Amino acid sequence: MPSVFTWTVRVYYEDTDAGGIVYYANYLKFYERARTEWLRSLGIDQQTLRDRDGAIFVVRSANIDYRASARLDDEVTLTLNVEKLGGASVHFTQQAWRGDTLLSSADVKVGCVDAATMRPRSLPDVAAAKMRAA
Which positions are catalytic? 17
- Cβ count within 10 A of residue 18: 6
Rg over alpha carbons for the chain, rounded to the nearest Å, is 16
**Cβ distance 26 to 15 under 8 Å?**
yes
What are the beta bridge partners of residue 16? 22
Per the document, the length of the chain is: 134
Q: How far apart are CA 108 and CA 56, in angstroms?
A: 16
